[in-house]
Amino acid sequence: MKPIITLAGLVLALTATAVEAEPIVIKFSHVVAEDTPKGKGALLFKKLVEERLPGQVSVEVYPNSTLFGDANELEALANDEVQLLAPSLAKFEKYTKQVQVFDLPFLFDDLEAVNRFQKRAKGRQLLRSMEKENITGLAYWHNGMKQLSATKALMLPSDAMGLAFRIQPSAVLESQFAQVGAPTKKIPFAEVYTSLQNGTVQGAENPWSNIYSKKMHTVQPYITESNHGVLDYMLVSNTRFWFGIPHQIRTELEGIIDEVTFEVNRAAEEANQADRERIRKAGTSEIIELTPEQREAWREAMRPVWQEFEPVIGADIIKAAQTVNR
């Protein structure tokens, strides 16, 4: 006799399979401390996922380059060894040149302007610029505007001449410092403190939250409040992994990401200002505020980078970014 499979039986069997299914594991690796905009965002994502998708998705967060660091995290994402990352926008050069628009010095007046660009069509489009490389951008997360730190006081561009600066792996940043006669070294974030401490480099550029959480202010006697560029993140996943998640679960995850993004971006500027204040109180570095004329001199000196990179980034993207300043 042929076995008869009833619809009810099939539903029961499928439900049982679903109930027994192992949770989807999302490893989220990043390179900064937990008490930073990105670090807090990763933890909030974990908390909300575990509240709303118990037994279906579990999230493991690895801060401070403990699982993967700058040198290998994107490769690990491609190999599905990690499922979520939020690298700085300066770290995608190997996969897309367009995202380098964010590295152009003095392009955005402030974080609000960056925010407007990220929300517009051209900004959103960049989230999908690496899909051929199996990388899907899910959101932009803010950290903040970068400040210049060094072993000497930087008031004018000529003060930076000959000092070696640590940079993220971006040709735009290399050129930015070349404009002021400063050599650069591409060093992973995990090694920045030591490189500054032992004199491998004499300067760096970071938002206040990264300077404070990695104690860079204890080995850099001067910090110039230059706000010359932005350090933001793209939350990314492996495209095949992400779109392989069952639709209902993925939709829930996307809703959670929207909430976390809102919170990270709402709180980032305040967190950076609080860390600026902590650095000031620590008294180990002098915070140099530039006059409008001094800041303009830096802007003029670094401005040629825009033209140099226009052919690779795209004039349309640079133009769209410029229109967000008020």
Q: CB of residue 147 vs ligand LMR: minimum separation in angstroms?
A: 12
Rule CB under 6 A: choose which of 24, 31, 76, 230 binds ligand LMR.
Answer: 31
Q: Is 268 in the site for ligand LMR (CB under 6 A)?
A: no
Q: CB of residue 64 vs ligand LMR: minimum separation in angstroms?
A: 10
Cα–Cα distance between 306 and 315 in angstroms, integer?
9
Structure tokens at 22: 């192992």
What letter does residue 98 receive in the DSSP assignment? G
Q: Decide whether 89 or 245 has the Cβ nearer to ligand LMR.
A: 89
Task: Give the closest residue to 154 by CA, choosing from 62, 287, 324, 5.
Answer: 287
Q: Map residues 170-189 to x or -, x wherever contact with ligand LMR holds by CB under 6 A.
A: -------------------x
Q: CB of residue 223 vs ligand LMR: minimum separation in angstroms?
A: 15
Rule CB under 6 A: choose which of 26, 27, 29, 32 binds ligand LMR.
Answer: 32
Cβ(205)–Cβ(33) below 8 Å: no
How many residues belong to the chain? 326
Residues 122-161 close enough to bind ligand LMR by CB under 6 A = 143
Position of minimal CB gap to ligand LMR: 88
Q: What is the four-CA torsion angle of 170, 174, 175, 177, rounded to 10 degrees? A: 140
Residues in binding contact with ligand LMR, number by CB under 6 A:
9
Residues 74-113 close enough to bind ligand LMR by CB under 6 A = 88
Alpha helix stretches (DSSP H) within the chain: 7-20, 37-52, 73-78, 111-119, 121-127, 171-178, 192-197, 208-213, 239-244, 247-282, 292-302, 304-313, 315-322
Q: Map residues 214-233 to x or -, x wherever contact with ligand LMR holds by CB under 6 A.
A: -----------------x--
What letter does residue 256 receive in the DSSP assignment? H
Longest distance between any two alpha carbons in the chain, whole Å? 92
Cα–Cα distance between 271 and 148 in angstroms, integer?
18
Residues 187-216 close enough to bind ligand LMR by CB under 6 A = 189, 206, 210
Q: Decide whether 231 or 301 has the Cβ nearer to ligand LMR.
A: 231
Rule CB under 6 A: choose which of 168, 170, 285, 294 binds ligand LMR.
Answer: 168
* List of residues contacting ligand LMR (CB under 6 A): 31-32, 88, 143, 168, 189, 206, 210, 231
